[in-house]
Structures are given as C-alpha cells and as structure tokens.
Amino acid sequence: MAGNAPAGDPTLDGEVDPWAGVVGQLEARSRLASAATAPVHAYLLLGSRGSGSFPAALGFAGLVLSGAEVDDVARRRTMTLAADGKHPDVVVVEAEGAALRVSEAEEIIRAGLRTPVEGRRKVIVVRGVEAIEEAAIGKLLKVVEEPPPSAVFVLLAEEVPPEIVTIASRCVTIEFGPVSASDLEVGLVSEGVDPERAAMAAGAAGGDAERARLLATDDALADRAELWRRIPSELDGHGHTVAEAVDRVRDGMDGAQGPLEARQKAELDQLEARVEQLGERGSGRADLVARHKREVRRLRSDELRFGLATLSRVYRDRLIEAESDGARDALSAIHAAAERLNRNPNEALLLQDLFLRLSPKPLD
C-alpha cells in the first residue's frame, strides 16, 4: 500500500519507489527524502507499529546508500536490496525478548564500527528503542553521541519514555502518525482487495497498515466483530456465561492467527530450503523463531484491542440512545482493560474480569 510520492520528490525515477511499503505519511517521507541527500548521524522515527516507520527506514537506507551510485542498474539494485533488508550495509537490530538488552546494544556498536561492505556508509536500523534495559541505555547513548563516521543510525520507537529522552535528543526526530482508515482502505483496494473487505479491514486496523493487510486476508473478521457485539446482550451475571464468552473470544483469536501462521510457515519453509542448501550456520533460525513469537503476541494483543473497540461502540450507541449509568460504567471498565493491555496481562484473566464487570447482577 504505497501512497502518492511527495511533490518534488527527487528520489523516484519511475523504477524503484523507496516508499512502496508506506501508506500516507507524506510529510515524514518528504523529510526523509530530503535528509538522504546529506544525512546526519542519527534519526528517530517516532510512530506506532504499523505506521510505516520501519519500511520508511529501509527506504531511507536505500536512498542513503544509493546516493553515490552513478549507474542506474547499481542504484536500483541497492534500493531494492535495502527495501528488503538484505543489503550488506543495512543492519536491522531488534530485541529478541521484551526489551533491548546489553548484548543487543553491543551488537549495534559492533555494526557501527564495521567498515561498510560496498560503499562509504552503512545504515543501522534499531527497532523498539523505547523498550530498552537500563543497563543498555548508556551503551546505545554513547554510540549515538560518538558515532563512527561511516554509520547512520535510524532508531524506531513508538514513544519516548523518560529513560530514552537523552538518546532522542541526539537524533533528528521524524514523526509518523496513525494512518487514517480512508488511506488504509484506498491502499488495500489499490492492491486488489475487494472494496467491502478493504473497508472492514481498514476500520478494524486501528491505523496499523501491517494489521490492515493481514485482516484483509482474514475471512472470519466479520464473524469476530459480531461475536464481540453480541457479548453485552448475552452476559447475565452468571459465572458460567462469562466463562463461555471468554472461550468463544479466545477461540476466535486462535482462528485469527491462521493468516499469520500461514505466512510464518512459508518463511520457515524458505529458511529450511536455504539451510538444506547452505547449512545451518548463520541461517538466522533463532531470530526468525523469536520474531514469529513476537508477531503472535502482538496479533493477539491487537485482536483484544479490536474487540474492546467493538464493545465500546456498543455501549456508546446505548449512551446515544439514552443516558445510562450502566453504559458509562461499562465504558470505564473497557478503558481500564485497554490500559491493562500495556502491561502484558494474562489474556484469560483480563477477559474474565472485564466480562464480570460488564455483567448485570444475577436475578437468582
């Protein structure tokens, strides 16, 4: 889902679009395109996952590395490899666990110190900088403050917590806002998605382009939305009813993993083919498996947010129809559940607690 190129963008030659994976974000893309002609040592791309900041970072890397290319074929090759994260002078670092650790900060430092393989520069893209262990902060700060002359650091974060304010202050910050549902819908349709399905996926994606693409392949999205909409009318104050509702929601979430699992299986199959041909050493199997686990966790969290948003609309509609203290209390409970999602709660317990709060008092 690529939006239109910023007016006057000097980077596009009709052959390779560095922003092919980015929806909207015209201002951010324009700033990155301008910065690529004379990059400074560090950038912070600030935006939620799915805002397009990661594909934009790779597109920017391609522009930086291809700037010195005089041959069109070489330039296209550089930009294409960078966009796929496969260029030897593009290094992508992401936490294997819940946070960037000291070992990963040291990997960033080593990547910065290495001599570029093909050109004069290398670009180190670091995802999830907002989640960094305290012991690793100083190491990352030092390399950003005193970078090797050949290194351009592109840090990605969803927010700037107090722990990384100093790191952020050493970078040029470029913000990526949530993608509008209309932009997501247009982008999906341009990729061949049925308009009705595109509209539903865009509306459920919460401004996340990656999730919109995934939902567009999900045949059961409408069924899951209806499942959440029915919950308020089904709850009767009894524990067994709550337990059944929790089971149905979690079964729906299990089904939602289908498209993701299919894609992950294809990636694993490709890896296995490379391992068979080239051997296990350096295959990246552990990194791929760790990424897949993170993707599953994120998908289930996204499904919960989608469900909570659907529930909220039900109770907001009730408030529009008539003032209701019960609807207001329900909205407060849903908001509290959404806040708890940021603390990685137990999925079943979160749902049980919420549905009990939404349940009327039993009559018997």
Tens-digit pLDDT profile for residues 348-360: 999 999 999 999 8
Q: Nearest to residue 205, comparing CAs of 189, 182, 181?
A: 181
Q: How far apart are CA 267 and CA 260, in angstroms?
A: 11
Q: Which residues of 165-186 are buried (b: 16+ CB within 10 A; e: fewer)?
A: eebbebbeebebebbebebbbb
Residues in the chain: 364
- Residue bearing the bigger pLDDT, 279 or 104: 104
Q: What does the block give as tokens for 50?
A: 């799915």
Interacting residues of 124 by C-beta distance below 8 A, sequence separation 6+: 91, 93, 108, 111, 112, 151, 152, 153, 154
Q: Nearest to residue 167, comparing CAs of 193, 146, 141, 190?
A: 141
pLDDT surpassing 60 at residue 363: no
CB 227 within 8 A of CB 248: yes
pLDDT surpassing 60 at residue 35: yes
Q: How far apart are CA 359 and CA 123, in angstroms?
A: 53
Q: How far apart are CA 36 and CA 57, in angstroms?
A: 11
Tell me which H or E stretch contains 233. Answer: helix 221-234
Q: How far apart are CA 25 and CA 41, in angstroms?
A: 23
At residue 238 the predicted structure's pLDDT band, cuts being 50, 70 and 90, is very high
CB atoms within 10 A of CB 82: 26
At residue 10 the predicted structure's pLDDT band, cuts being 50, 70 and 90, is very low
pLDDT at 219: 82
Q: Write down all domains in the chain, each with its CATH number in brackets.
A: 26-177 (3.40.50.300), 220-358 (no CATH)
For the segment 270-299, the average pLDDT, to the nearest whole number, is 77
pLDDT at 111: 86
Q: How far apart are CA 129 and CA 137, in angstroms?
A: 9
pLDDT surpassing 90 at residue 227: yes
Interacting residues of 248 by C-beta distance below 8 A, sequence separation 6+: 227
For the segment 182-204, the average pLDDT, to the nearest whole number, is 87
